[in-house]
Amino acid sequence: MDLSADLDFARSLADIADTISLERFRAADLHVSKKADSTHVTDADQAVEHALRERIATERPDDAFLGEETTADTGAEATSEGHRQWVVDPIDGTANYLRGVPVWATLIALAVDGRPVLGVVSAPALGKRWWAAEGLGAHSFDGALRVSGVADLSDASLSYNSIQQWDDDDRLDALVDLSRRVWRTRAYGDMWSYMLVAEGVIDIAGEPDLKPWDIAALVPIVEEAGGRFTSLDGDPGAWHGSALATNGLVHDAVVEVIRR
């Protein structure tokens, strides 16, 4: 499967998203509302997703689409929508975006038969972008990506996103246990944690309570950088409601701690 043309297309979608999101970032008239699940949405989220959905419909009319702001399907149902499906989170890190914190990104993935094979993560406020496709490696503006060679959990650096998420998912004891076994813990948050794993500067990133659009674009980037990506319980793919990315060397040990 040659994904070169699809990767070029995905990166062009990221260019469109960056133009829209940056123009509205820290805007005095940014409109913020709450969705049915009490999470926030801004006019920038909606504008980015609308623009990308329209472009995909024009350029890839036979492909399915799953987006955070316009699709109500669950992850499990989404896999059956089509052989090829674009999965989009217009702004991952909306809470950061609406407060003016620059850690947010547009996530764009292509899933084939439910398997994410291509991902682009574009964080224009940080001046960063990461991308990958199966067989084409993982890259950023700084060059090729490679995970770390840390092999012992006691030497590993962990990013866990937020204590509240783990607590709400009844996994706080697992997080505390894991934090006692690693060298260092931080909460870099959202997509950035996973990209730091792909860059090899941290070794573990994970969080519960996620949707497919939060996960799909991250999977190919981590895996093409040489890492492993599963749910917190060790299930592969983007459809299990949680995420665990590691350099691969410590993955089984992390899953064992979380399960216990």
Q: In the chain, pLDDT over 90 holds for what percent of residues?
A: 88
User: What confidence tens digit (pLDDT) does each residue in 90-100 have?
Assistant: 999 999 999 99
Q: What is the pLDDT of residue 9?
A: 98
What is the average per-residue pLDDT within 203-231? 97
Cα 74 to its chain centre, rounded Å, is: 17
What is the average per-residue pLDDT within 140-155? 98
What is the average per-residue pLDDT within 38-50? 90
User: What confidence tens digit (pLDDT) does each residue in 71-84 have?
Assistant: 643 343 444 356 99
Nearest CA-CA partner of 229 in 256, 206, 260:
206
pTM of the model: 0.94
Q: Please report which confidence band the pLDDT of residue 107 belongs to, taking 50, 70 and 90 as the band edges.
A: very high
DSSP 23: H
What is the average per-residue pLDDT within 26-49? 87
Instruction: Using alpha carbons only, give the angle 124, 187, 239 rounded to the nearest 5 degrees.
Output: 75
- Mean of the per-residue pLDDT values of the chain: 93
Distance CA 38, CA 230 (A): 27
Alpha helices by DSSP H, listed for 25-126, are 43-59, 75-78, 94-99
Beta-carbon contacts of 31 under 8 Å, excluding residues fewer than 6 positions away, are: 42, 43
